[in-house]
């Protein structure tokens, strides 16, 4: 292993599942001191055990502003200042416009939009010089997909936040970038309560419209996060790394 993150302190929100979990495992192999957060205590426990290398995990809901900062305090007292912050926790909610309730809208924007804003804002006092922040957006941020108004716009908001954060933090020697996955094989639709047939249908749709004709893997996403987290991307800020099998540009 190249140990591209040797001795670095990395925090990954939503690190107990899917893309975040694969990223946490790769970062630990690359020498980072990893902290994961999520909402489910049992999976945080099993995930930290599997990540190994002294990884720690905390229950923290990104939509609850008060639950974010205590995590950073514990990270600082355990490992020191944060070098890498992966702002990855997110949910999907797809529904015809007329069925979308205010409660659904608030839930998704509190996690995917407000949660991202305050996950970054509350981290500021705990970031190390030269820190790298990466936000998981989505390739669908630039697309129109029926039923996706709230999800797509929350992911587009993340891209806008990344550009604004990057502009504000460049003078503090902190880089901020987005990683935009295409269709990736994770439990995200299951967790949204979708039936197996609906999941098969959306996976078939994306496999058809993706030039590479397949979903991406969580390991492929983790490699992208490693690039953005490490000095390999030292001249990149305010940008968007699109890992989508050609979906958005071909
Ligand atoms: P996942 O469901 O496996 O992981 C989502 C993670 O976010 C989980 O760890 C969950 O605990 C956490 N989370 C959700 N709500 C939270 C909250 N309120 N507070 C704290 N943690 C919370 O799904 P995934 O596909 O790995 O999703 C990770 C990110 O990737 C999301 O932001 C998602 O929008 C984005 N994304 C996924 C895909 C895809 O096809 N899977 C495509 C583009 C973007």
Catalytic annotation, pick one of 113, 126, 151, 235: 151
- CATH number for 9-243: choose from 3.40.50.1370, 3.40.640.10, 3.40.50.720, 1.10.760.10: 3.40.50.720
List residues near ligand 1 (CB under 6 A): 13-14, 16-20, 37-40, 61-63, 88-92, 111, 136, 138, 181, 183-184, 186-188, 191
DSSP 114: I
> Could you tell me the CA-to-CA distances from 216 to 91, 183, 212 in Å, in that order?
18, 6, 9
- Sign for the CA dihedral angle at 77, 82, 86, 90 comes to positive
Ligand 1, residues 122, 143, 188: which to mutate, most atoms within 8 A of Cβ? Answer: 188
Q: What is the largest CA-CA distance in the chain?
A: 51
How confident is the prediction along the chain (250 residues), in pLDDT tens digits per residue? Answer: 689 999 999 999 999 999 999 999 999 999 999 999 999 999 999 999 999 999 999 999 999 999 999 999 999 999 999 999 999 999 999 999 999 999 999 999 999 999 999 999 999 999 999 999 999 999 999 999 999 999 999 999 999 999 999 999 999 999 999 999 999 999 999 999 999 999 999 999 999 999 999 999 999 999 999 999 999 999 999 999 999 999 999 9
Domain residue ranges of the chain, discontinuous segments joined by + = 9-243
151 annotated active-site: yes
């Amino acid at each position: 292993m190249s140990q591209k993150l040797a001795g670095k302190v990395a925090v990954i929100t939503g690190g107990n599942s899917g893309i975040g979990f694969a990223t946490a495992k790769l970062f630990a192999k690359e020498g980072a001191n990893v902290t994961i957060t999520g909402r489910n205590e049992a999976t945080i426990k099993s995930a930290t055990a599997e990540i190994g290398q002294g990884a720690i995990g905390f229950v923290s809901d990104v939509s609850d502003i008060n639950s974010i900062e205590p995590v950073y305090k514990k990270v600082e007292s355990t490992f020191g200042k944060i070098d890498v912050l992966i702002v990855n926790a997110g949910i999907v909610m797809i529904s015809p416009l007329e069925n979308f309730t205010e409660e659904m809208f608030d839930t998704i924007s509190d996690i995917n939009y407000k949660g991202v804003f305050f996950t970054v804002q509350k981290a500021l006092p705990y970031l190390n010089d030269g820190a790298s922040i990466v936000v998981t957006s989505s390739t669908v941020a630039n697309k129109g997909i029926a039923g996706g108004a709230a999800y797509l716009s929350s992911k587009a908001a993340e891209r806008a936040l990344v550009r604004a954060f990057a502009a504000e933090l460049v003078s503090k020697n902190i880089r901020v970038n987005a990683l935009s996955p295409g269709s990736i094989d994770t439990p995200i639709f299951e967790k949204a309560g979708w039936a197996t047939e609906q999941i098969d249908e959306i996976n078939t749709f994306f496999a058809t419209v993706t030039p590479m004709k397949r979903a991406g893997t969580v390991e492929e996403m983790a490699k992208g996060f490693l690039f953005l987290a490490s000095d390999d991307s030292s001249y990149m800020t305010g940008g968007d790394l699109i890992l989508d099998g050609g979906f958005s540009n071909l």
